[in-house]
Amino acid sequence: MRIIFAGTPQAAVPTLLALIDSRHEVAAVLTRPPARSGRGRSLHPSEVAEVATAHGIRLIEASDLRGQDTRSAIGAVGADLGVVVAYGALIPPAVLGMPRLGWVNLHFSDLPRWRGAAPVQWAVREGDRTTASCVFQLEKGLDTGPVFSRLPVTIGREDAGELLARMSELGAHQVVDVVDALEDGTAHATPQPTGAGGEPAPYARRLTTADGFTDFSAPADTVDRLVRSVTPDPGAWTTLPDGRRLKLGPVEPTGAPSPGIGVPVVHRHGVEVGCAEGTVTLGQVAPAGRSWMEASAWARGARLDEGARLGAPAEGATTGKDGH
């Protein structure tokens, strides 16, 4: 089949490569325009754009699909099917009907759980033990279409970035299988289940810098999940007694009793911080304007006063799971 692929970040690359290697033709790639990144804030094409260019595939760069020029370019592809993996913008109804078979989407959650932009981060944050990647038919509603394929995934003690990378590799071949079945006429989609009482499915909004604020006022296991949910992006952080920020890498819950919420205990080879229940051992940290280092090395230089506390509330910080 003739395919138009829509995706932007690294998580979309394995599926694009799998489609390129399949029996189908990737006729065009839709991705978001170059974005500024790095210390120099220079413009860089998306990871998907780099792959498309390297393989000589026609590239359509657009931040949304409302413009007539963009819609005309998509229509001109004459695609049999559209495939979406983390494009970063909604596909409007006028574009949904352009490919002969519509669009399918690889979504990194066990639908209908965690509809929205950040399903992997929220699965980690909320302590889900299992999830799934789902390939479903796009329709007007947000991640509401019938599901062609569901691949269960067990969540270990990994951060959101590691889990997403693993799921993106697993899901790539899942997408190809669905595309093959659509061409062969053997694909079958099942409507998503509805919750008892018709309650809405959990919404996985995009996490912000404020969601990475860690005040250690929760049990150690919860603090651990919070930190892993925002690693590597947007990143976990706490505040020092003088108000400056300290970036946090992944932490490790321990069975030690808490010396008090946010109270650091510096050992020769590590730093433990008290939580509402238990403690966590800090891994790597990065003070403002400095590179990552082991927490023990940072603590030796920081010379924290006795009774110091990490995580005094910072302006603009939110920790509620609904973002309100």
What does the pLDDT look like over 116-174, one tens digit per residue? Answer: 999 999 999 999 999 999 999 999 999 999 999 999 999 999 999 999 999 999 999 99
> Which of 160, 171, 310, 177 has the alpha carbon at shortest distance from 245?
310
- Looking from the CA of 95 toward its CB, the CA atoms found within 13 Å total 26
Phi, psi of 165 (to 5 degrees): -60, -40
Q: Report pLDDT digits (tens) over 300-309.
A: 888 888 889 9
**pLDDT number for residue 313:** 64
Is residue 317 very low, low, confident or very high in pLDDT (cuts 50, 70, 90)?
very low
Is residue 41 very low, low, confident or very high in pLDDT (cuts 50, 70, 90)?
confident
What share of the chain has pLDDT > 70, as a percent?
94
> Residue 315: is its pLDDT beyond 70?
no
**pLDDT number for residue 74:** 97
**pLDDT number for residue 180:** 98
Q: Report pLDDT digits (tens) over 228-260.
A: 999 999 999 999 998 999 999 999 999 899 999
Distance in angstroms (rounded) separating the CA atoms of residues 296 and 266: 7
Distance in angstroms (rounded) separating the CA atoms of residues 123 and 128: 5
**pLDDT number for residue 38:** 65
What share of the chain has pLDDT > 90, as a percent?
84
Distance in angstroms (rounded) separating the CA atoms of residues 16 and 50: 11
- The residues, ordered by sequence, that sit 6+ positions from 198 with a Cβ below 8 Å of its Cβ are none
CB under 8 Å, gap of 24 or more: what pairs does 33-38 form? 33/61, 33/62, 33/63, 34/61
DSSP per-residue string spanning 262-315: T-EEEETTEEEEE-SBSEEE--EEEETTS--EEHHHHHHHH-PPTT--S----T
Distance in angstroms (rounded) separating the CA atoms of residues 227 and 251: 7
Is residue 322 very low, low, confident or very high in pLDDT (cuts 50, 70, 90)?
very low
DSSP 253: E
Sheet strand arrangement including 270-274: 252-254, 279-281, 270-274, 264-267
> Residue 320: is its pLDDT beyond 60?
no
